[in-house]
Structure 1
Amino acid sequence: MVTRLVLAVALTMSLVLAGAASFVYWRVKTALDQQLDDDLTTYQSSLDRAVRHGAQLPPGPSGSLQQVLGAHGRVLDSSHAIRHQMLLTPTERNSVAHGATFRHDVGSLLPITPDTLRLQAHRVTAGGRQRIVIAAVRRGHRDEALRELLAQLALASGLTLIAASYVGYRTARGALRPVERYRTAAATLADGEQSLRLDVPADRDNELTRLGHTLNHMLDRLEASAERERRFVADASHELRTPLTLMRAELDVALHRPRSAEELTETLRSVDTEVQRLIDLSNALLDLEELSSTGHITRAPAALTDLLDAAVTPHRPTAERAGRDLAVDTPSVTVDVDARWLRPAVSNLVDNALRHGEGTVRVAATVQEGVLSVCVTDEGPGFPPEFLPRAFDRFARAEASRTSEGSGLGLAFAHAVATAHSGTARADNAASGAAVTLRLPC
């Protein structure tokens, strides 16, 4: 990662430096060329005047050269340095003779060549005859300045690139050091260290510290989830072991010696009861796991009165046998909920109230500002205070005042249904007994 970042910085800086160096070189070269062209044009004008008037050719700038050709290319006058050397090719002379102005450079900037010139030639009429006047100035100072500029730009760009790469490397290492610490800590976590937490500086607030806090929060939830799973497995094993042990004991007793038909029938009834208990527990676990793992509900309009009647009616025979009343108080409204899940949730609360409470079990529902509230109360002793914080945990039981009947999943299921509806579940002790309230948007 650090290497890629440094390479990216180096590549970006290379492009920026190349662009900046090219711009500087172009600006300096343009200025030097403009000065050289101005000198060449001035020198050319003075030569043209001298040729027209038949005067002696004037001297030009230091190192300048001149040459005058006849219409057929014969050298009529020339600087001593070039004598009879031809500065123009036949094609170039022919072009100038037809009225074109010709300018070009002799020699190159790189590699270094001697006698670099910039020359200009055009036609002049003197005494009715055509002459080709060539003016040339040396480019040595201009080329030397450009070569020095190239060297300085290359040196400065190289040093800047090295410095930028080093700073980028140190910055990347410093920025990614916390990430490496997090990676090392995650590797330790993968080795089974559950209590590990990342060391996040408290005096900073940036992307990495926020990442650290998020990871610590995730680790807290993972540890809590793992603890719940361990407790769930232990409790589920215990709950399943009890009916299986009873079934095994009943069968062992039945097989120990010959039994009458009545005794075998009683044994089978007992085994059937335990099998049904296992089925109910398995179904409750499957429903709870389905709801908790997916959290998916399908809302649809449902008549609240019909929904609660469907949840309460199956428990009326049990209430009558126990000499207890079941009261439902609900407005005749339509709510937008998932009846498939809400109906058994309310049914579980009513079953808990009948199983563990006393007196009248009341189901009261209200709808206010788009929120459905369903409260199930009884007239029993209520929840022990120490049980309330864990009332909605799986397999939780209020052992101090309630019997060990049931699986301990009813409240957990009701809480899961409320959560899936983006609502809440609350367990309290009312004035006359226990109260469990589900509040969910409708």
Structure 2
Amino acid sequence: MRSLRSRVGRLPLRVRLVAGFAVAMLVVLIGAGAFVYWRVDFALDRGLDTELSQATTTLRPLVGADGRVERRTTADATGAAWQVLDESGSVRDHGGPAGADAMVGTRTLARAARSPQTVNIGDFLPASHKPYRLQITQARSAPRLFLLVGVRRDHRDEALRELLVQLSVAGLGALLVTSFVGDRLARAALRPVERYRRRAEDIAAGASGLRLDVPLRRDDEVTRLGHTLNDMLAALERALDRERQFVNEASHELRTPITLLTSRIQLARRRPRTQAEHERILEELDVDLGRLARLAEQLLDLGASHADDAGGPGRTADLAATVGRVIEQRRLADPGWAGETRVELPAEQARTAVSDGALERILTNLLDNARVHGTPPYAVRVDAPADGWTRLMVTDAGGGMPPALLATATRRFARADEARSRPGAGLGLALVWALVADADGELRLCFAGQHARSGATAPVACDHGPEMTVTVLLPAAPDDAG
């Protein structure tokens, strides 16, 4: 059975569909033919049984105690073949087309002793020369005698054989027609699939910008599959474009520190140097390697998925507590930074549907970005300005961003021209945006009356001064979320 399934599974889908349709149709045709045959057979047998009952009614009173039939003229007038048998199967009398040889055996007679029997003798296929339908009844009980009355089945059998031929021919024709129609329908249904396959083959071979040809005015399963595949292709192209852009930008950004490292090493090799000079060169190389390591770490963080770190079922944290902890850690590490930073935290919890680790990464990147590109004083503020939302604001008094950069600042490696001389690779805000987007939040960049928004649209008005302000709006955690 498993081998048969394996062989059937290797057949083309169209062949399997047509074969399944043909098998189902064959079962229906056999069932319908069997029902028609049974009804016709029943009707023909009922007609013969009526004739037999009438002849039996006429002959039974004519059987004498010795097994002889009186008034043979009346008996022969029935037109039926008849025999009178004793319980041993010997013929006592006969008439009509019936001969002197018993038409049934003793077993049949034994059953007739209990109840009247109706039997057929003579083969249906192949056609017998003497086909009869017999009705056997007990004519006398002492001595026990049996009356056999029979009528020929020639017309009945011929009609049934003709019916079998007609049903077979009609069924075979119907099966061929339905199989042909099923094949046409299967071809028509699978034609779009084959067209999709050829187009997908072209796309797999390297063709870009191609889409599956999906009819616009149809809405069936294959059409919906085509739309879904087109959406998938578009998403894959966007993902490939982003990855290609990321690789190009990362290569560009990595080229500068690597070139600088190579140049320093080449300069160090040009002439003999003292131990102090070598130590100074090693310190410069260590700084460059540190920058390169931080850049690589940022690229890895940005390329990784943040869905597990940001929002999701069961991932909640207190924004106020997380911000307070991070600020306290920075104050301990850099006491001078404390005098330059103002922190405003709410008295109540500000629970948000984001993990504690994601909140810490968001705040750390915003503080580092403000310290590198802004100027003190800095301000960090946490509140819950609207139902369902929490807000984190980081402000600095620096020169801010030009309006054109506000709209693109969350892209990878986006930096103003004057910022290229400062540390960093333009990945801080990109990391923040990736985490905020995974949490279904909103990121706002505001400076000098200009605003740029990314992500969800929270029902919260911009609350800022003339300073450079980065606002992160995150979904609040449900009341029963711990």
* TM-score bracket for the superposition, by shorter chain length: 0.7 to 0.9
Cα pair 1:361 1:377 within 8 Å, conserved = yes
Deviates more, 1:211-220 or 1:71-80: 71-80
Corresponding position of 1:349: 366
Name the amino acid aligned to 2:358. Answer: W
Q: Measured at CA, do residues 213 and 437 of structure 1 come closer, stay the same or move farther in structure 2, by a change above 3 Å?
A: farther
Match of 1:152 among 156, 166, 172: 166
Cα pair 2:89 2:105 within 8 Å, conserved = no
Match of 1:414 among 427, 432, 436: 432
* Deviations 1:304-362, CA, capped at 9 Å, x for gaps: 33311344456669999799942322324152532222212211112222322345433
Cα pair 1:381 1:401 within 8 Å, conserved = no
Report how far residue 410 of structure 1 moved: 0.9
- The separation in 1 between residues aligned to 2:472 and 2:135, in whole angstroms, is 99
Name the amino acid aligned to 2:83. Answer: Q
Match of 1:9 among 21, 39, 43: 21
Cα pair 1:363 1:377 within 8 Å, conserved = yes
Report how far residue 49 of structure 1 moved: 2.8
- The separation in 2 between residues aligned to 1:437 and 1:77, in whole angstroms, is 119
* Deviations 1:64-109, CA, capped at 9 Å, x for gaps: 311234576554432243332322324444665x565333111122
Q: Measured at CA, do residues 440 and 303 of structure 1 come closer, stay the same or move farther in structure 2, by a change above 3 Å?
A: closer
Match of 1:234 among 241, 245, 248: 248
Match of 1:83 among 88, 94, 99: 99
Given the alignment of the two structures, is residue 264 of structure 1 paired with residue 278 of structure 2, yes or no?
Answer: yes
Q: Measured at CA, do residues 174 and 146 of structure 1 come closer, stay the same or move farther in structure 2, by a change above 3 Å?
A: same
Alignment gaps of 5+ in structure 2: 1-12, 450-465, 478-482
Corresponding position of 1:243: 257
* Deviations 1:207-226, CA, capped at 9 Å, x for gaps: 21211111111111111111
- The separation in 2 between residues aligned to 1:152 and 1:363, in whole angstroms, is 93
Given the alignment of the two structures, is residue 31 of structure 1 paired with residue 43 of structure 2, yes or no?
Answer: yes
| Structure 1 segment 291-302 matched on structure 2, within 5 A | 291-292=305-306, 302=317
Alignment gaps of 5+ in structure 1: none
- The separation in 2 between residues aligned to 1:7 and 1:200, in whole angstroms, is 28
Deviates more, 1:190-199 or 1:318-327: 318-327
Corresponding position of 2:3: none
Match of 2:232 among 218, 232, 241: 218
- The separation in 2 between residues aligned to 1:22 and 1:114, in whole angstroms, is 26
Given the alignment of the two structures, is residue 122 of structure 1 paired with residue 137 of structure 2, yes or no?
Answer: yes
Corresponding position of 2:8: none
Q: Measured at CA, do residues 405 and 420 of structure 1 come closer, stay the same or move farther in structure 2, by a change above 3 Å?
A: same
Given the alignment of the two structures, is residue 377 of structure 1 paired with residue 395 of structure 2, yes or no?
Answer: yes
| Structure 1 segment 98-113 matched on structure 2, within 5 A | 98=113, 100-113=115-128
Match of 1:200 among 206, 214, 224: 214
Report how far residue 424 of structure 1 moved: 3.8
- The separation in 2 between residues aligned to 1:180 and 1:224, in whole angstroms, is 26
- The separation in 1 between residues aligned to 2:235 and 2:292, in whole angstroms, is 31
- The separation in 2 between residues aligned to 1:342 and 1:107, in whole angstroms, is 96
Q: Measured at CA, do residues 374 and 60 of structure 1 come closer, stay the same or move farther in structure 2, by a change above 3 Å?
A: farther
Give me the TM-score of the superposition, normalised by structure 1. Answer: 0.88
Corresponding position of 1:438: 472
- The separation in 2 between residues aligned to 1:402 and 1:32, in whole angstroms, is 104
Name the amino acid aligned to 1:437. Answer: T
Name the amino acid aligned to 1:361. Answer: Y
Given the alignment of the two structures, is residue 391 of structure 1 paired with residue 392 of structure 2, yes or no?
Answer: no
Cα pair 2:309 2:357 within 8 Å, conserved = no
**Identity of paired residues, percent?**
38
Cα pair 1:324 1:359 within 8 Å, conserved = no
Give me the TM-score of the superposition, normalised by structure 2. Answer: 0.81
Report how far residue 110 of structure 1 moved: 1.6
Name the amino acid aligned to 2:305. Answer: L
Cα pair 2:85 2:102 within 8 Å, conserved = no
Report how far residue 137 of structure 1 moved: 1.0
| Secondary structure at the counterpart of residue 151 of structure 2 | strand
| Secondary structure at the counterpart of residue 259 of structure 1 | coil
**How many residue pairs are counted as aligned between the two chains?**
439
Cα pair 1:376 1:435 within 8 Å, conserved = yes
What is the Cα-based RMSD across aligned positions, in Å? Answer: 3.2
- The separation in 1 between residues aligned to 2:207 and 2:407, in whole angstroms, is 28
* Deviations 1:142-175, CA, capped at 9 Å, x for gaps: 2122112211211121111111111111111111
- The separation in 1 between residues aligned to 2:181 and 2:226, in whole angstroms, is 25
| Secondary structure at the counterpart of residue 108 of structure 1 | coil
Cα pair 2:307 2:438 within 8 Å, conserved = no
| Secondary structure at the counterpart of residue 275 of structure 1 | helix
